[in-house]
Structure 1
Amino acid sequence: MTDVVRTSKKLSWLLRHGAGEKGLAMTADGWAAVDDVLVLLGIDRSALDRAVERNDKNRLQVDGSLIRACQGHSLAGMPVTRPALEASWQRVRPTGSLWHGTTPAAVPAIRRDGLRPGRRTHVHLAPSPDSRVGKRFTAAVLLRIDPTELDVFEAPNGVLLTQHVPPGAIVWGG
C-alpha cells in the first residue's frame, strides 16, 4: 500500500467515523480545520493534498483551510447531523432507476424493512448499475430502486443518498 493510499484511508476514517473518538472539532455538516487534521494524523499539507487528489472515489473535499468527507459518516460518536449534511448537499429528483449493491445475506432483511443506513447517516445509492460511486464495487446483489417517493440528495462526489428506502421502492426481479 502506498503512502498516498494509507493517508487517504486515515483521512477518510477520521472524517467519516473517528472525529468524536479523536476529539476533532467538526461542524454539523462535517467540516474540520485542515490544521487540526494535520496535527492529529501527523502529516503535512502536501501529503494531505496528494491523498485528496488521488482518492479513487473523491470521498474528500477541501475548501481552503477546511476539509470534510463528502458522505459516508457514522451516526454514533460523530458531530455530524442528518439535517446539516442534507443542507450541504444538492437535493435531486432522479428520473430513472437508482442502484444499491448488497450481499445475498442482507436480502431477507431488505425485503422486510427496505434499505436502512445502519450505523451510517444515509443509504448510499448509485446513478447507474456500473457506477463506481454509491455502491459496493464487489456487491453480489444489485438492487434496482424506484426513486419516485424518495428524498434524494447528491454529495459533491456524485454519490446519491437517502435516509431510507422502503421495501415498496425496491424493484424485485426486474
Structure 2
Amino acid sequence: MSRDSRAISRLLRHTAGERGLTMSADGWASISDVIKLLDLTEDRLEQAVRDNDKQRLQADGERIRACQGHSLQGMPVTREALENSWERVYPQHLLWHGTNRAALPAIEREGLHAGRRTHVHLAPSKDSHLGRRTRVEVLLGVDSGNLAVFRAPNGVLLTREVPVDAIVKVDAVH
C-alpha cells in the first residue's frame, strides 16, 4: 500500500474527528477537503484509491470514504449510518474470523467484539483475503444465522459482535 493510500485510509478510518475533517455519519468526506488536509494532488488521491490493496477507499464524484474499518472514538461515523450504506446479506455457510492463539481464551469466554472499531470483520471463506489480517494463527468458523451481517462495497463482511455460541469451529492455520 502506498504512503498516500495509508494516509488517506488512516484519516478516513481513524483520525478525521481529531483533524477537523467534516464527514457524514456514513463516512463520506469532500475530496477537496481531504486533498487540502493531506497536501495531495487530485492525481495522487485518484491513484491511491485505485491502487489500494484492500480496496478500502471508495470515491464517488466529489466525495470519498473508507469502505469499512472505522474507529468508534473521535470519529463522526455511526454504526447505524454505515450499516444503512452497506448491503445486508444472509450467508448460508460459515463465515470466518482470523485471530491469534493468545486471543482465544478471551474469545471463548466473551465472543468477538469490535472493541474500538464499529464492527467485527468476517471473511466468506477460509482462504479469503477479504476481512482478514495478515498474521492469522487461528480461523474461527462463525454461524451467522442469528447475526446481522453486512457487506461493505469492497466485499468485507461485517457484524457488530459474535456471541460465543455462534463460534462453532476453531481451525489452526498451518
What band does the TM-score fall into relative to the shorter chain? Answer: over 0.9
CA contact (8 A) 2:98 2:139 kept: yes
Report sequence identity in percent.
61
Partner in structure 1 of residue 28 of structure 2: 31
* 3-state SS in 1 of match to 2:161: coil
Unaligned stretches of 5+ residues in structure 1: none
Whether 1:40 aligns to 2:37 is yes
Partner in structure 2 of residue 148 of structure 1: 145
* 3-state SS in 1 of match to 2:73: coil
Matches within 5 A, 1:66-81: 66-81=63-78
**Cα offset for 1:160?**
0.2
Partner in structure 2 of residue 16 of structure 1: 13
Whether 1:110 aligns to 2:107 is yes
* 3-state SS in 2 of match to 1:119: coil
Find the aligned partners of 2:169 and 2:35 in 1 and give their Cα distance.
Answer: 46
Question: What is the CA RMSD across the aligned residues, in angstroms?
Answer: 1.0
Range that drifts further, 164-173 or 146-155:
164-173
Post-superposition CA distance 1:88-109 (Å, at most 9, x none): 0000000111000011111111
Post-superposition CA distance 1:74-133 (Å, at most 9, x none): 000000000000000000000111000011111111001100001000000000111111
**Cα offset for 1:173?**
4.4
Find the aligned partners of 2:40 and 2:76 in 1 and give their Cα distance.
Answer: 23
CA contact (8 A) 2:140 2:170 kept: no
Find the aligned partners of 2:132 and 2:18 in 1 and give their Cα distance.
Answer: 27
Find the aligned partners of 2:136 and 2:170 in 1 and give their Cα distance.
Answer: 17
Unaligned stretches of 5+ residues in structure 2: none
Find the aligned partners of 1:173 and 1:79 in 2 and give their Cα distance.
Answer: 35
Find the aligned partners of 1:131 and 1:173 in 2 and give their Cα distance.
Answer: 16
Matches within 5 A, 1:131-146: 131-146=128-143
Q: 1:54 aligns with which of 51, 54, 63?
A: 51
1:104 partner letter: R
- Tell me the number of residue pairs that the alignment of Structure 1 and Structure 2 aligns: 171
Find the aligned partners of 2:140 and 2:8 in 1 and give their Cα distance.
Answer: 30
Find the aligned partners of 2:37 and 2:9 in 1 and give their Cα distance.
Answer: 13
Partner in structure 2 of residue 171 of structure 1: 168
* 3-state SS in 2 of match to 1:99: strand
**Cα offset for 1:18?**
0.6
Query: What's the TM-score once normalised by structure 1's chain length?
Result: 0.96
Q: Which has the higher strand share?
A: 2
Find the aligned partners of 2:65 and 2:7 in 1 and give their Cα distance.
Answer: 13
Find the aligned partners of 2:75 and 2:170 in 1 and give their Cα distance.
Answer: 37
